Structure 1
Amino acid sequence: MDCALLLLSLWALAGTVSLQALGSCPERLLGEERRRTCPRPCKTDRDCGNKRQCLCDGQCGLSCVAPGRTCPWPLPPNENSVAHLLSPTHSFSALLEVRCKPGFTLSNGLDATIRRCQGDRQWSGDEPICTEIPSPEPTAVPTCPLPEEVTSTFSILGDATVGTSIRYSCLSGADVVGSRENFCQHNQTWQYPHPICKNVYCQPPPEVDQGYVVAVQKTEYEVGFDIHYLCKKNFLLDGPQRVTCLSNGSWSASPPHCRARCLIPAERSRVMIGGVKRWPFDVTDAMVPHGENVTFYCKHPHKQCSFTAAQTCFDGKLQPPACYLEPTWLQYKLFPHRLVSEIEACEPGDVE
């Protein structure tokens, strides 16, 4: 740009030298004036009168010009460009630089142009227009292709850009057959073939003794389907009341058990149930549910006192502790206050 300015400056100054040095001044060609008004043509100063000189006026060629004529300065401000006067004055042949502001450019791709003050008191050339340089299109990030049949079947965790991994999960809740994870390679291909979704079913749940399976009867059950278990009267459910079909084709838990009640193995002695001392015949059916603790009273082998021993009902079985002796009918009828459950409790130190 500095070389161009120097050449233009020398050319502009050439317009003020003697006519013998103006052999390079172009001939005036009709239609080449670019909509400007050219002064009267000439060949020597004598053709122009006292106040004008025969000078080179750009595309107007040799013209009668008043050297003192000036062009408009300063120019009106422009938000996209800045004008700088390159000559001491803005008179004929003065040079003006118009430079675009950062981010703007002229239509020819340059960021500056030089204009010359002409004999018609106008700056040469068309009015320069600086336009904003368009932002470059964002660089596309290379990706691996994901066919529609994959995106419509799977939920994809992650993106498909080169150098990253994704994870698949079936939208339908079915099981993923194949690799659940894939890697987008630098050649924009996947490391593994895309998996497929295979519908998984659970087989009918097993029946339970003394219980019921509450579910719609089917030959197979979909993932997420729930079934419920109930026990018959007087049986206690031991285990999950509800199980769910999982995506691996199994149920969420093993089937429960229906546990039977236990008959209290005592008739003529009170026992402790739920923290309450009771006669067995006062308990409904003289039975306790599965898992219930029953505390029996045992007589000290050497002292007239009693101590306790607990047993737990398990699925219809409840054995009295080894220390427990069932009172006889005569003891129960004739000496009820001497029954083992009614005598004084032993001191803590008396019980081994």
Structure 2
Amino acid sequence: MMDSALLLLFLWALTGTASPQASGSCVERLQGGERKTRACPRTCKSDAECGSKRQCLCDGECGLSCVAPGRTCPWPLPASENSVFRLVSATPSFSALLEVRCKPGFTLPDGSDVTVRRCQGDRQWSGDEPICTEAQSPGHTPAPTCPLPEEVINTFSIHGDASVGTSIRYSCLSGADVVGSGENFCQDNQTWMHPHPVCKKLFCQPPKEVQQGYVVAVQKTEYEVGFDIHYLCKKNYRLDGPQKITCLSNGSWSASPPHCRARCVIPAERSRVVIGGVKRWPFDVTDAMVPHGEIVTFYCKHPKKQCSFTAAQACFDGKLQTPECYLEPTWLQYKLFPHRLVSEIEACAPGDVE
């Protein structure tokens, strides 16, 4: 703590504000090539040369310069992962001091754990942004590593530290596919066990054709990642599956192509059926057909009682079968006794149907 206090007092004495009479204690202005990137205000020797709103003050490596003393530097500063900031002066105004201290276990590049920055006339803290890195124990020697060429670093995301005796894994930054060994081992002689792989951009092959359907896309020999293909079915066919598939980054499609399924003929003529919740005669339905996936409910006669119960069947790609219990009425039954048709008689009680 004593060393830190002495450092702060020394810097305050060296970089504090200076009146023109004290100009002898201010460093001589460095030339442009000697300075770092900061721009210096106008040089001066007395306040009279600076106008009413500025004073001739010592501004670090810029020497005596025309400075607005009321200007402030950024404060508070964003939190740092490995260091803490403390404003030594009362306010962050010109010539104020800022202490930057590394957290335990971390040091600055010169080996110290604390440095002080000064608020300059350009409203910035002096010097480069201090970077605290993990402290190395005395005599510590970094583990030897295998070299990684720049083109490999720029092409891949490398998982692992490339030190001797360890493995690394490659993944392409572009999302392309790794061609070659996706894993490598750093050998004792600091060479890699395998050649570095390469990244190859992947494409999707044209998907299969859909019978009774259309592909809505430009015909290509291969498709780029992210390309969409849309499907439509011919008239009287229904799409079964995704309407759109997308080329993925691994060179495959997001789904298999769909199917275009055919309509089904209603296998009943002289008995009403239920379609979409409505009881209808088959000849009242367009073409006496239902689309793929439609549920058709048939009426069946109780084997022992004068009542009916229902059984449902689904249309699947042109095939719709009647349930085993269904019996198609004869032409005479339909013409002479329509009120006795199975679809027209009273429904069985719930307990009558097993």
Query: What one-letter code is carried by the residue in structure 2 that aligns with 1:286?
Result: A
1:204 to 2:206 alignment: yes
* Alpha-carbon displacement from aligned partner over 1:138-173 (angstroms, at most 9, x marks no partner): 665543221122122223234434454432122333
Counterpart Cα distance in 1 of 2:187 and 2:254 = 38
Q: Which residue of 2 aligns with 1:135?
A: 111
The residue correspondences of 1:157-168 to structure 2 (distance < 5 A) are 157-168=159-170
2:280 maps to a residue whose letter is R
Matching residue of 2:233 = 231
2: distance between equivalents of 1:302 and 1:321? 18
Q: Is the 8 A contact 1:306 1:341 kept in 2?
A: yes
After TM superposition, give the deviation of residue 262 of structure 1 in Å. Answer: 0.9
Moved over 6 A (4+): none
Secondary structure at the aligned position of 1:222 is classed as coil
Determine helix, strand or coil for the equivalent of 2:297: strand
Q: Which amino acid aligns with 1:300?
A: H
- The Cα of 1:303 is off from its aligned counterpart by 1.8
Task: Return the offset for 1:318.
Answer: 0.9
Which amino acid in structure 2 is aligned with residue 293 of structure 1? I
> Which secondary structure state, in structure 2, belongs to the residue aligned with residue 201 of structure 1?
coil
Which residue number in structure 2 is paired with residue 184 of structure 1? 186
Gaps of 5+ in 2: 8-109, 113-134
**Matched-pair contact (CA < 8 Å) for 1:162–1:188:** yes
CA separation in 2, counterparts of 1:340 and 1:239? 37
Q: Is the 8 A contact 1:202 1:251 kept in 2?
A: yes
TM-score by length of 1: 0.56
- Structure 1's 158 and 226: CA in aligned 2 closer, same or farther, altered over 3 A? farther
Q: Equivalent residue for 1:277?
A: 279
CA contact (8 A) 1:298 1:323 kept: yes
When residues 158 and 267 of structure 1 are mapped into structure 2, their CA distance, relative to the original with a 3 A threshold, is same
RMSD across aligned positions (CA): 2.7
Partner of 2:326: 324
| More divergent stretch after superposition (141-150 vs 304-313) | 141-150
Q: Residues 143 and 161 of structure 1 are in contact (CA less than 8 Å); yes or no, is this contact kept in structure 2? A: yes
Structure 2 SS opposite 1:173: coil
Contact 1:157 1:168 in 2 (8 A): yes
Residue 229 of structure 1 and its aligned partner are, at CA, apart by 1.6
Match of 2:296 among 285, 294, 297: 294
Question: Which one has a bigger Cα radius of gyration?
Answer: 1
Q: Summarize the Cα distance change of 1:173–1:348 in structure 2 as closer, same or farther, 3 Å threshold.
A: same
Paired-residue identity, %:
84
Question: Could you list the per-position Cα deviations for residues 250-274 of structure 1 after superposition, in whole angstroms to 9, with x for gaps in the alignment?
Answer: 4333322100111211222111223
Task: State the alpha-carbon separation in 2 of the partners of residues 167 and 192 from structure 1.
Answer: 12
Match of 1:148 among 150, 163, 166: 150
Q: 1:185 to 1:224 in 2, by over 3 A?
A: farther
**Aligned residue for 2:197?**
195
The CA deviation string for residues 111-141 of structure 1, in whole angstroms up to 9 with x for no partner, is: xxxxxxxxxxxxxxxxxxxxxxx52896655
TM-superposed CA distance for 1:246, in Å, is 4.0
2: distance between equivalents of 1:229 and 1:168?
A: 37
Residues 165-209 of structure 1: per-residue CA shift (max 9 Å, x gap): 432122333221222122334543333321112333332222111
Aligned to 2:267: 265
1:289-335 alpha-carbon deviations (Å, 9 max, x no partner) = 11122111011222211122221111011122232222234433433
The residue type paired with residue 328 of structure 2 is: E
Partners of 2:6 and 2:210 in 1: CA distance: 88
CA distance in structure 2 between the partners assigned to 1:347 and 1:135 by the alignment: 94
Show CA shifts across 1:64-99 (max 9, x none).
xxxxxxxxxxxxxx948xxxxxxxxxxxxxxxxxxx
What SS does the aligned partner of 1:197 have?
A: strand
Q: Whole-Å Cα distance in 2 between the matches of residues 185 and 228 of structure 1?
A: 51
Gaps of 5+ in 1: 1-77, 81-133
Give the residue type in structure 1 aligned to 2:170. Answer: Y
The code of the aligned residue for 1:184 comes to C
TM-score after normalising by structure 2:
0.55
Q: Does the 8 Å CA contact 1:236/1:290 hold for their aligned counterparts?
A: yes
Instruction: Verify the 8 A CA contact 1:173 1:223 in the aligned structure 2.
Output: no
3-state SS in 2 of match to 1:150: helix
